Structure 1
Amino acid sequence: MPGPPRHRPGIGWLVRLLPTRALGAASYLQAFVLSGVVTVLGVRAYLQATGYPQIGGGGLHIAHVLWGGLLLAVGLGVTLVYLGDGARTAGAVVGGIGFGLFIDEVGKFVTTGTDYFYAPAAAIIYVAFALLVLLTQAVRGRTGRSRLTPAERTANALDVVLSGLPGGLTDRRRVAVLRLVQGTGPATEAAVAQLLDAVPRREPPPVRIWQRAADRARRLAAWAAGRRWLVWPVVVYLVLEPMAVVLAVVLDGVTGELDQEHEWGAVLGVTVAAVVTAVLSLRAAWLLRRDRTEAFRFFKLALLVDLLFGQVFNFTVNQFGAVSAVALDLALLGVVTAEHRRLRRAADR
C-alpha cells in the first residue's frame, strides 16, 4: 500500500532567516540622503566662496574625503553601540554627512589626474543621490505597517518599548506601539500592553524651531499642490520649457557658440532628454480634453524622464548651477502628482 503523502518543505525556514524589517527604515534613509545633499551643496558653496583652500602644506593635503570616511564610521558606530530610534536617526545624519564629504571628491578618483573639477563629477554625484532616493521610495513601499508581517510588527513594537525603558515613553509613542500590535493575537497584545505599564511615562519634548519650520513647509506644499489655478501654469511650462531647450541648442549650433562646448556628449544627452520630454508633454496636452487622468500621467512621466535622465547631463554641462532646475522639477512633480491623484480618486467614485 502507498504510504502517506509526503509534503514538500515550505519556505518558512527562509522567511525566518531574513532580517526583520524596520518600520522607520525609509525615514532613516531619508535623513541620510538629505544630510548628504546638504553637505555636498554646503561644501561646494564654502569652497567657491573661499577660493578652494587646502588644509596642509609642504606636499601634505588632507582631503575632506578622509573626514567623510571618519564620519561614516562614526555614524555606523552610533547605530551599533546604542539602541533606539534617536540613535538610528543620529547615525543616519552623521553617516549622511560623511557620505556627502566622500562623494563630493569623486572627481579625484575617476580621473588619472585626480581632478576635483572634473566636469562629469557633478553628474555622478547627482546619480548617486538619485539612486538613493529611488532606494528610499522602494523601502518605503515595503516597510509600511500594512506590509510588515505580524511578527515584524511585534518586533518593532518591542524595540520601541525596550528603548524607552531608560527615559520613558510619551503617550503618543504608547498609542503607536499598541496600534502596531493590533491583530497579532490576544496573547501578544496583552503581553505588550503589560510591558508598556512597566515603562515610565515621559512628557512630550517642546516643539523645536526647525520642526515648526518643517511643518509650515509641508502645509505650504500641500496647499500649493491642492490649488487648481496652479495646475495650468505648470502645464504651460511643461509644454514650452523642453522645446525652448531644444531651440536654444539649435541656435547655439547656428551661431557657432556650440563649437566652444567641451562636453558634447552631455549636450547631446540634454537635447535628447528635452526632445523626449517635449514629445511626452505634447502628448499630454493633446489628451487634456479627452482624458485628463491619462494626460497628467504623461506629464508626470515627462518630469521623471527629465529628473532621472535630463538632469544627469545638465549637471555635466552646468555643474552645480543645475540644482535650481532640479528643485523646480521636484516642485512641479509635486503639483502634477497631486492633480493626478485627485483625478484618479474622482474617476473611482
Structure 2
Amino acid sequence: MVPGSPRRGGARNLGWLRRRLPSRAIDAAAYLQAFVLSGVVTVLALRAYLQATGYPQLGGGGLHIAHVLWGGLLLAVGLGVALVFLGGGARTAGAIIGGIGFGLFIDEVGKFVTARTDYFYAPAAGIIYGAFALLVLLTQAVRGRMRLTPDERIANALDMMLGGVPGGLTDRRRIAVLRLVQGAGPTVEAAMVQLLDAVPRREPPPVRFWRRAADRARRLAAWVAARRWLVWPVVVYLVVGPVVTVVSVALAGVTGELDQRREWGAVLGSSVAALITAVLSVRAALRLRGDRLDAFRLFKLALLVDLLFGQIFNFTVNQFGAVFALLFDLFLLGVVTAEHRRLRREATLYRR
C-alpha cells in the first residue's frame, strides 16, 4: 500500500484518537447493565405502586413535588458516588443509584412532551420502552466491541488492584489482575506481582441470596431454552402470530373499527412491524428444510424487529400491560437463540 494512502492515514488517525481518549473500563457493560436494570425495575415498581394507591401527590398548598425531582437528585448522587470513591464497587453503586434516578425521571416523560403536561399521555410508555431499548443496545455494543489495548489492560489491572487496597483482594480478583497484564512483558508482570504482594488478602464474601436466586433463574432459563421439543411450538407461533396480527388489523381497517381507536397511528406502526416480522418468519419457515441455520437466523431477526420496533408501538397502544408480551418475546428469543447457537456449533464441527 502507498504510504500516503487514505486507508493508512485513517488507521493512523484512529490510533491517535484512541491515545487521546481515556482508558475504557473492562466492566463498562456490567455498569451499564446495572444502570438499565435498576431503571427498568424502578419504572415498573413505581407504576404499580401509583396505580395501587390511586396516584397520590406529594405536596400541598398548590405545590406538587414531582418524582422527576427525586430522579434528578438520585442521578446527581449516583454520579457523585462514582466521582468521589475509587473502585468497581463504587461504580456499581453509582450505576444502581443513577439507574433508579433515571427511572424516576423518564417515568414522567409524558409531562414534558405534551403542552398540557399529561402524565398519562399514551405514547409515554412507548417512549420509556424505546429509551431503555436504546440503552440495552448500547450495553450490547459495548459488550461486543470491548477489545482493550495493551495499555488499557494494564490500566484496568492497576484500577482493580488499587480498589482492593482498603479492604483487600480475593484470590479470584488477583487472578483477574494477573490475567489482564499477561503478555505485557516480563517487567510489567513482575512489577504487578510485587504490587499485589503489598495488597492484603481477603476471603470471598458469602453468596448473597439474590445471587443464588439469579443463578437458579439462569440455570432454569438455560434448561428450558435447551429443550428441543420447545423449538417447533415456538416456530409455529412465530409464523402464525404475526400473520394473525396483520390480518386482524386489516379487518379492523375494513370494518371501520380502526378509525375509532385512540392511538390508531401506533396500531398501524405495530402492524407494519408485525408485517415485517411475518415476512421474515414465513421466509424462515420455508428455509427450514434447506438451511436450518439460516432459518433460525431469520427467526432471530424477526424477533429482534418486534422487540426493537414493534414493542414501542405495542407499549403505546396497551401501555404497561405490554410488559407480559415483552417477557414472552424475550422467552421466544431465548429458545430461538439457543437453537441457533446449537446449529452453528454443529456447522462448525462439520466443517472441521
Shorter-chain TM range is over 0.9
* CA distance, structure 1, for counterparts of residue 223 and residue 188 of structure 2: 41
Structure 2 residue matching 1:168: 3-state secondary structure: coil
Partner residue in 1 for 2:186: 186
Tell which deviates more after alignment, 12-21 or 170-179: 12-21
Letter of the structure 2 residue corresponding to residue 79 of structure 1: A
Partner residue in 2 for 1:217: 217
* CA distance, structure 1, for counterparts of residue 106 and residue 276 of structure 2: 30
Letter of the structure 2 residue corresponding to residue 239 of structure 1: V
Partner residue in 2 for 1:17: 20
* CA distance, structure 2, for counterparts of residue 228 and residue 165 of structure 1: 49
Letter of the structure 2 residue corresponding to residue 326 of structure 1: L
For residues 184-232 of structure 1, what are the alpha-carbon distances to aligned partners after superposition, in whole Å with 9 as ceiling and x for unaligned? Answer: 1111111111111101110110111000000111111111222211111
Is residue 95 of structure 2 the alignment partner of residue 92 of structure 1?
yes
Of the three residues 37, 55, 59, the one matched with 1:56 is: 59
- Which runs of structure 2 are paired with 1:248-259 in the superposition (5 Å)? 248-253=248-253, 256-259=256-259
Letter of the structure 1 residue corresponding to residue 144 of structure 2: G
Is residue 156 of structure 2 the alignment partner of residue 156 of structure 1?
yes
* CA distance, structure 2, for counterparts of residue 14 and residue 242 of structure 1: 46
The offset of 1:322, in angstroms, is 0.7
* CA distance, structure 1, for counterparts of residue 348 and residue 164 of structure 2: 43
The offset of 1:256, in angstroms, is 4.6
Structure 2 residue matching 1:61: 3-state secondary structure: coil
* CA distance, structure 2, for counterparts of residue 335 and residue 215 of structure 1: 18
Partner residue in 1 for 2:291: 291
The offset of 1:149, in angstroms, is 0.9
* CA distance, structure 1, for counterparts of residue 20 and residue 309 of structure 2: 38
For residues 113-152 of structure 1, what are the alpha-carbon distances to aligned partners after superposition, in whole Å with 9 as ceiling and x for unaligned? Answer: 0000001111110110000000000111122xxx111111
The offset of 1:259, in angstroms, is 3.5
Could you tell me the TM-score, scaled by structure 2's length? 0.94
Letter of the structure 1 residue corresponding to residue 333 of structure 2: L
The offset of 1:248, in angstroms, is 2.5
Partner residue in 1 for 2:122: 119
Report how many aligned residue pairs link the two structures.
341
Is residue 311 of structure 2 the alignment partner of residue 311 of structure 1?
yes
Partner residue in 2 for 1:281: 281
The offset of 1:15, in angstroms, is 2.8
* CA distance, structure 1, for counterparts of residue 64 and residue 130 of structure 2: 28
* CA distance, structure 1, for counterparts of residue 100 and residue 204 of structure 2: 28
* CA distance, structure 2, for counterparts of residue 142 and residue 292 of structure 1: 28
Tell which deviates more after alignment, 242-251 or 331-340: 242-251
Letter of the structure 2 residue corresponding to residue 37 of structure 1: V
Letter of the structure 1 residue corresponding to residue 348 of structure 2: D
For residues 275-298 of structure 1, what are the alpha-carbon distances to aligned partners after superposition, in whole Å with 9 as ceiling and x for unaligned? Answer: 111111111111101110010011
Partner residue in 1 for 2:71: 68
Partner residue in 1 for 2:260: 260
Partner residue in 2 for 1:329: 329
Of the three residues 132, 140, 154, the one matched with 2:143 is: 140
Letter of the structure 2 residue corresponding to residue 314 of structure 1: N
The offset of 1:327, in angstroms, is 1.0
The offset of 1:335, in angstroms, is 1.2
* CA distance, structure 2, for counterparts of residue 148 and residue 272 of structure 1: 40
* CA distance, structure 2, for counterparts of residue 148 and residue 259 of structure 1: 54
Is residue 239 of structure 2 the alignment partner of residue 239 of structure 1?
yes
Q: Sequence identity, in percent? A: 79
Letter of the structure 2 residue corresponding to residue 215 of structure 1: D
User: Can you give the 5+ residue segments of structure 1 that lack an aligned partner in the other structure?
Assistant: none
The offset of 1:13, in angstroms, is 4.2
* CA distance, structure 1, for counterparts of residue 291 and residue 145 of structure 2: 31
* CA distance, structure 1, for counterparts of residue 263 and residue 154 of structure 2: 54
* CA distance, structure 1, for counterparts of residue 293 and residue 41 of structure 2: 35
The offset of 1:338, in angstroms, is 1.4
The offset of 1:254, in angstroms, is 5.0
Letter of the structure 1 residue corresponding to residue 42 of structure 2: T
